[in-house]
Amino acid sequence: MAVENSIRARVRAGDTAAFGQIFEEHSGAVHRHALRMTGDWALAEDVVSLTFLEAWRLRERVAPEGGSLSPWLLGIATNVIRNTRRAARRHRTALAKLPPLDATPDFAAEVTGRMADAEQLAAAKAALERLRPGDREVFALCVWEGLDHAAVAEALGRPVGTIRSRLSRARARLRRLTEQELAASRSARSADPLQRPGGSGQFTGDRALAVRSTKETPR
C-alpha cells in the first residue's frame, strides 16, 4: 500500500517517471480492455494513447490514498471508448452522405483472426454489441479484466449494487445473444454448399461452448 500511495503522490505531482511506471504496469490491461471492447487493434492502440494523455490531464484528481491505479485508468479508458464510438457514429453518418466509392477489401477478419476462431469471435462480438452500453462496460471490466465489484464501481463511478445487477443481467443476456448469433451463423453456413458437411468449408466442434468459455473466463 505504501508503494501505491507513493505512486499516487508522484502522479498527482506530475512526476513523469511515475507516469512511465504506471504506463509500463497498466498499458497492457488498458490495451486488452480496448481491444475487447472495439475489436480493432489499431483503435485499441489509439485508446491506450488517449487514456494516458487524459490520465495526465486529470492527474490531480487521483485520490491521495488507495490501492491499485488500475480501476482509475480503466475508467478513463472506458470513457475514451465511449467518445470514440460517438465519433465513429458521426463519421459514418457523414460518409453516408457522400457518393458511393469503389469497394475495397476488408481485412478486419484477417486481423481479428489472430485472437480466436473467426466465427467464435464474430458471434461473441456481435452479441456483446447488442448489450446495453452500461452492461457491456461492466461485463468487460468484471469478467475480462477480473476486477471486483468495488473496483468496477470506482472505475465507472456507480454504486456497487448497480454493478452487481448489471453484471448479472449482462451474463444472462450475453449467453442468449451469443447462442442466437451462432445459430444464425450455422443457418447461413448450411445454406452454402461449400460449407455443408463434405464441402471444402466444413466446420467442426462445439462453438457455443468455446464462445462461452472465451467470454466468461477472466484473464
Rounded distance between C-alpha atoms, residue 105 and residue 182, angstroms? 25
* Neighbouring residues of 63: CB distance < 8 A, sequence distance ≥ 6: 8
Q: Give the whole-number percent of the chain exceeding pLDDT 70.
A: 68
Q: What are phi and psi of 63, to 5 degrees?
A: -60, 140
Amino acid in position 162: T
The CATH code of the domain at 114-219 is: 1.10.10.10
The per-residue pLDDT for range 121-153, each reduced to its tens digit, is 677 778 888 888 888 889 888 888 888 999 999
Question: Which pLDDT does position 125 carry in this prediction?
Answer: 78
pLDDT of residue 55: 94
SS3 string of 57-122? HCHHHCCCCCCCCHHHHHHHHHHHHHHHHHHHHHHHHHHHCCCCCCCCCCCHHHHHCCCCCHHHHH
Q: What are the extents of the domains in the chain?
A: 1-104, 114-219
User: For the whole model, what pTM was predicted?
Assistant: 0.56
Supply the pLDDT for residue 140: 86
CATH code given to domain 1-104? 1.10.1740.10
What pLDDT sits at residue 124? Answer: 76
Give me the tens of pLDDT residue by residue for the chain, a chain 219 residues long: 455 558 999 999 999 999 999 999 999 999 999 998 888 888 899 999 999 999 999 999 998 888 899 999 999 999 999 888 776 556 556 556 555 544 444 444 444 344 345 677 677 778 888 888 888 889 888 888 888 999 999 888 889 999 999 999 988 888 888 888 888 877 877 766 555 544 444 444 444 444 444 444 444
